[in-house]
Amino acid sequence: MLQVKGRNDTKYGARFMATICFYQDARHEEYLHWIRKILKIGYISHRKDGITELRINGFNRVKKVLTELKPFIRFKAKQAQTLIQACALLESKKMSKLSNTELRKIVKFVFIIRYENYKSGSTLTKDALLKRLGLTP
């Protein structure tokens, strides 16, 4: 995921967050523990709906894991490649130092990933995000 989190203490009122999330029914969570042990990264959490998650956060970590897993990814290849590109750009500079062109590229990445996923509960539109980031005339 490439999420946009509202944040009042930043120049743009938002920040980007990269996350890889593996979901599994809690009855079979041992597989998530196995993945975490192999990757040596991430944390396990239990949701109230009986789902267990393995989450990996951070631009550098997400890019590293996805780059290593890329040859094996079949179902989320487009999202993985897009997130690798976004992380490379976002880890190279602080958000406040990104040019308008780079910010527009990140917004494009957010929506490429969102549209490729099954469902997003977010109501944030591309136009609203561009406006929040000061990228509209």
CA distance 122 to 45: 21
Position 99, amino acid? S
Position 124 scores a pLDDT of 79
SS3 of 55-123: EEECHHHHHHHHHHHHHHCCCCHHHHHHHHHHHHHHHHCCHHHCCHHHHHHHHHHHHHHHHHCCCCCCC
Position 136 scores a pLDDT of 82
Q: pLDDT tens across 40-58, in order?
A: 999 999 999 999 999 999 9
Q: pLDDT tens across 113-130, in order?
A: 988 876 666 777 889 888
**CATH number of this structure's domain 2-119, picked from the four choices 3.40.50.300, 3.40.190.150, 1.10.357.10, 3.10.28.10:** 3.10.28.10
Across the chain, mean pLDDT equals 90
What is the average pLDDT across 79-85? 96
Position 55 scores a pLDDT of 97
- The percentage of the chain sitting over the pLDDT mark of 70, rounded to a whole number, equals 94
Who has greater pLDDT, 61 or 93?
61
Position 133 scores a pLDDT of 86
